[in-house]
């Protein structure tokens, strides 16, 4: 089992600040698509082994997962997850109320892929900008299944760390809770912590860029 990192309070607070900027960009992009104010926040960030993170998400819940692999300053797989029952309402929000339900189901994967692409790239793009590094992402892959199937689709026996973020979506009609997971091996975790330390040093010297 992976050893949990000794993340300091200032490192955790810095990550929280960066990701809240990222989801703010994502919320603005989604607001322009749905013609409705969308607000997002990241109230919690925690690190856990992948098996423990999957258990916390719930064994009996079907999830919609949108994943992308990133390479650059550090390597990671980023996965945005929603309860499957909430995905229908998210898609309805995007395409409007005039689309028949049977057609809506056919559009679900495409719409969720677009949402995942917006949120993941906004968050990762903000990380790259704040860290003054490049991160290149793959095309999004959409999966539906249990938390274990989403977090470990290849069913490998390793138990890497997951940086798990809860994302609260506030819409005019409803509140939706999602999760953003970053799968980190030990090398990626070391790289991430080094980038956080460098970011804090630049922050203290006043040489940090303003978002994206």
pLDDT, position 85: 79
125: nearest Cα among 33, 26, 208: 26
pTM, rounded to two decimals: 0.86
| Tens digit of each residue's pLDDT, the chain (212 residues) | 455 567 888 888 999 999 999 999 999 988 888 778 889 999 999 999 999 999 988 877 899 899 999 998 778 899 999 888 777 777 777 666 666 666 666 677 788 888 888 999 999 999 888 888 888 888 889 999 999 999 998 888 888 999 999 999 887 777 888 899 999 888 888 888 888 999 999 888 877 665 54
b/e map 43-59, b = 16+ CB within 10 Å = eebebbbbbbbbeebee
* Domains located in the chain, CATH noted: 9-203 (3.40.1550.10)
| β-pair partners for 79 | 67, 181
User: How buried is residue 133: exposed, middle or buried, by Cβ count under 10 Å (0-12/13-18/19+)?
Assistant: middle
pLDDT of residue 212: 46
């Amino acid at each position: 089992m992976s050893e949990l990192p000794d993340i300091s309070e200032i490192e955790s607070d810095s990550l929280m600040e960066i990701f809240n900027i990222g989801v703010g960009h994502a919320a603005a992009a989604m607001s322009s698509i749905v013609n409705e104010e969308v607000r997002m926040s990241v109230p919690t960030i925690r690190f856990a082994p992948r098996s423990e993170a999957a258990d916390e998400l719930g064994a009996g819940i079907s999830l919609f997962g949108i994943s992308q692999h990133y390479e650059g300053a550090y390597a990671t797989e980023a996965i945005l997850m929603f309860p499957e029952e909430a995905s229908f309402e998210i898609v309805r929000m995007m395409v409007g109320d005039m689309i028949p339900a049977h057609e809506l189901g056919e559009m679900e994967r495409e719409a969720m892929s677009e949402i995942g692409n917006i949120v993941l790239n906004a968050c990762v793009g903000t990380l790259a900008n704040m860290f003054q590094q490049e991160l290149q992402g793959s095309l999004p892959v959409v999966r539906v299944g249990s938390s274990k199937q989403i977090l470990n689709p290849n069913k490998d026996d390793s138990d890497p760390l997951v940086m798990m973020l809860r994302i609260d979506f506030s819409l005019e009609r409803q509140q939706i809770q999602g999760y953003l997971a970053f799968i980190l091996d030990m090398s990626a975790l070391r790289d991430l912590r080094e980038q956080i330390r460098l970011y804090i040093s630049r922050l203290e010297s006043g040489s940090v860029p303003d978002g994206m």
